[in-house]
Amino acid sequence: MLRSPGTRRHARHCSSMPKSFHRGDHVSWNSEAGRVRGHILRVHTKDVDYRGHTHHASPDDPQYEIKSDKTDHVALHKGKALRRLKS
C-alpha cells in the first residue's frame, strides 16, 4: 500500500483522542519566542478569567496553567498545544 508523504504526519497530529495532562507534568509549547518548557500548576475544567481574558474550559477540554522553567511567566493552554516531556 502506497501512502502520500504527509499521511503519517497527518495521522499523528489529528488524533481523535484528546491529550490529557496532570498537575506536575513537564510539558513544552510553542510561543512567539520559540519552544518553552514548564510544569503544569493547575488544571481548569471551568471557564477561568486570567489577565483580563476569559479562557474557556470544560472537563472534556480543560485549560492547563503552566509555569515556565526559565522565568516566572505563567501561561494557560489547551492540551492540543502541549507536548509531554520526559522529566
Residue boundaries of the structural domains of the chain: 23-84
Q: Which of 20, 58, 55, 24 has the alpha carbon at shortest distance from 41?
A: 24
Question: How far, in Å, CA of 79 to CA of 63, rounded?
Answer: 7
pLDDT score for 33: 85
pLDDT score for 87: 66
In this prediction, what percent of the chain has a pLDDT beyond 90?
A: 69
Query: Quick check: 39 pLDDT over 90?
Result: yes
Topology at the third CATH level for domain 23-84: SH3 type barrels. (2.30.30)
Q: Which three cell numbers stand for residue 31?
A: 510561543
**Is the sign of the CA dihedral 56, 24, 34, 11 positive or negative?**
negative
Q: What does the alpha-carbon distance between residue 42 and residue 76 come to, in Å, rounded to a whole number?
A: 9
What number is the average pLDDT over the span 41-70?
A: 96
For the segment 2-17, the average pLDDT, to the nearest whole number, is 48
Q: Note whether 82 and 28 are within 8 A (CB).
A: yes
Tell me, what's the pLDDT at 19?
76
- Mean confidence (pLDDT) of the chain: 85
